[in-house]
Amino acid sequence: MIDLSLDNASRAQLTMLKWLGEKYLRPLGIEADRLERPIPPDHEFFLKVLEMGLGGRGLNDEEDNGKKSRDPDKPSSGARRGVIFAEEASYWDRGSAVALPGPGLGGAPIHHMGTPEQKERFLGPFRQKDRPRWGAFGMTEAGAGSDVAGIRTTAVKDGDHYVLNGSKTFISNSQRAEWVVVFATVDPSKGRDAHRAFVVEKGTPGFSITRVEKKIGLRAYETCSFTLDNCRIPVANLLGGEAFYEGRAGFKGAMKSFDSTRPIVAVMSVGIARAAWEHARDFIRQNYVTDRPVPRYQRILERLALMRMKIDHARLLCWRAAWLADHKKPNTLEASIAKAYAPPVALEATRLGLEIMADAGITGDAYLDKLYRDVKVLDIVEGTQQIQRIVIARRIVDYPGVSGEPADKE
């Protein structure tokens, strides 16, 4: 039986998050959208977040929540907390939520692949509240978006260092991050078997931001491209150490990270869908006399009811994937189902809202137009619809992998 109950501390944090969302996340998101620039890293809002204990920790990370003494044989609750908090934060504003301090998506590979020393070294500083800190996750390249097996950033061993060369694109918060987890290959001819994950720290010579992307939505956080030009990375920054990469551990580590992050990204869509749905519902209440026997009104109410059912369905799919992760059960199939299902639901919810509001919905100050632009990216990041369907199909019928090897058994 799936248990989604929260402990008292988590309920208190959720209450604070709702207050923070109404007072800061949504107003700052709307302001960033209007000004077409991200929230600056020195904005006083980030210090306030740290004071409240809501930032600086991975929202899906129990270790950062002071629960190191948890019995490792018992189920965690970090993934379930993660999806609940991520939906609530994205309901208020997904862009502002991603801008919050913390390890971000970079925390997942460190947890899955890092040694105990590496976890403490790279994630430990996030417990401090003296200043906001960010982490980042660098996988996507210009020629390797959804097909992450095709990355071309190289890593060459040189003594007690690896030398990284290449470029990454569409990496959230990478300009302000303390470190970026960068995936590279030690031999492009060996495909996935040669993948490695490195922590590239801020200030490393050769690491440089080349572009801050100008986006149609989600403008509250910055998305950057960067290059790695003969970056010398200590062997100690190779996640898991060299022995970890026997077989295809590097690629599997990346895929394991996606198993954690895809339900999070999917449930962010649910948050946006809920915001759009409620906006449309409130518009109907204020502008339509729905108890009149007008066929058009009945059709609108029917569509609103159907949309609510789809949003609840999407949320449960995300919760199921998170529950499996907390119980250390394979969830690749469920994570991809959630990621494949939830973003189109959010797109449909925002489109429905615009149609219900008609002319009033397409003005630049109508809020729904922002949600409509915000949500599209969630249909793309962490694997497109096509990629999710491939993953689902392979898991269902044990379809052979690209390299000719059988798909991993669950």
* Residue 395 structure tokens: 């898991």
Q: Using alpha carbons, list the distances in angstroms from residue 383 to 116, 147, 361.
A: 29, 8, 30
- According to DSSP, the residues that pair with 136 across neighbouring strands are 180
Q: How many whole angstroms separate alpha carbon 280 and alpha carbon 277?
A: 5
Strands 179-185 and 161-172: unpaired
Q: How many whole angstroms separate alpha carbon 217 and alpha carbon 215?
A: 5
Judge contact between 323 and 4, C-beta under 8 A. Answer: yes
Q: How many whole angstroms separate alpha carbon 382 and alpha carbon 267?
A: 12
Judge contact between 250 and 196, C-beta under 8 A. Answer: yes
Give the catalytic positions in this structure: 382
* Residue 59 structure tokens: 């929202």
Q: Is residue 371 classed as helix, strand or coil in its secondary structure?
A: helix
Q: How many whole angstroms separate alpha carbon 97 and alpha carbon 53?
A: 14
- According to DSSP, the residues that pair with 223 across neighbouring strands are 172
- The DSSP line for 95-149 is HHHHHSSB-GGGHHHHHHH--HHHHHHHHGGGG--SS--BEEEE--BTTBSS-GG
